[in-house]
Amino acid sequence: LGGAQSLHTNGMDEAYAIPSEEAMKVALRTQQIIALETNAPSVVDPLGGSYYVEALTNRIEAEVLAILAKVDGMGGTIKAIEEGFFQREIADSAYAFARRKAAGEQPVVGVNVMVEPSEPPPIPIHKVDPAVEARQVNHLKDVRRRRDAALVARLLDRLEKEAREPAINLMPVTIELVRARASLGEIAARLRQVWGSYVERPVF
């Protein structure tokens, strides 16, 4: 209602695995009910001009700008990551939400209000068919067998060389690699040789 450009509804089981067909269907039907039964998408911005929505927008903008200014003051995004700023903010926010929920200050239907007396029904978890994995592995082997191996090797060498130069945009060579049928794993492995792997520091 606030003029969203897109809407995504997570499956009820995505905290555990990729969504099952049933979970995806429930999520999709939820969107379709909103779209078809309320006619909200028929108007670009149904609540345009609403004092309440405008107040929320202004508050969010002010808070976002304050965070950006704080990050700039720390020396930028990379510095903030190295100092654990984002991780700490996320952890603090999650902890505050959990405390509000436990105290009943933050209602969550089915968790601390409107709770069913019986145990919640089990959520079936999607299990990947081993045949699908085997088929994908065979497909990757077939792609590697049919592609121009020499071209891929040259492009991977070029990627590694350019990755050592901070001023060079890596997107062009990455696009060439994809067109040459290099795998994501091969591209990432070569970048790891230059940059290593990020290991998140414990934040308290």
For residue range 108-149, list pLDDT tens digits in order: 998 899 988 887 778 888 888 899 999 999 999 999 999 999
- The answer to whether the pTM exceeds 0.75 is no
Instruction: Using the CB atoms, write b or e for 86-108: b if 16+ within 10 Å.
Output: eeeeeeeeeeeeeeeeeeeeeee
Domain residues of the chain, as ranges? Answer: 84-117, 130-195
pLDDT tens digit string along 176-197? 999 999 999 999 999 999 999 9
Closest-CA residue to 86 (of 71, 106, 101): 71
Q: How confident is the model at residue 47 (pLDDT cuts 50, 70, 90)?
A: confident
Does pLDDT of 90 surpass 80? yes
**What pLDDT was estimated at residue 204?**
65
Q: How far is CA 18 from CA 15, 24, 29, 118, 135, in A?
A: 8, 10, 18, 27, 19
Highest mean pLDDT among 32-36, 76-80, 124-128, 170-174: 170-174
In 32-44, which positions are buried (b, 16+ CB within 10 angstroms) versus exposed (e)? eeeeeeeeeeeee
Q: DSSP letters along 140-198, please?
A: HHHHHHHS-HHHHHHHHHHHHHHHT-TTS--HHHHHHHHHTT--HHHHHHHHHHHH---
Q: CB–CB of 197/188 below 8 Å? A: no
- Measured CA to CA, the distance from residue 128 to residue 34 in angstroms comes to 31
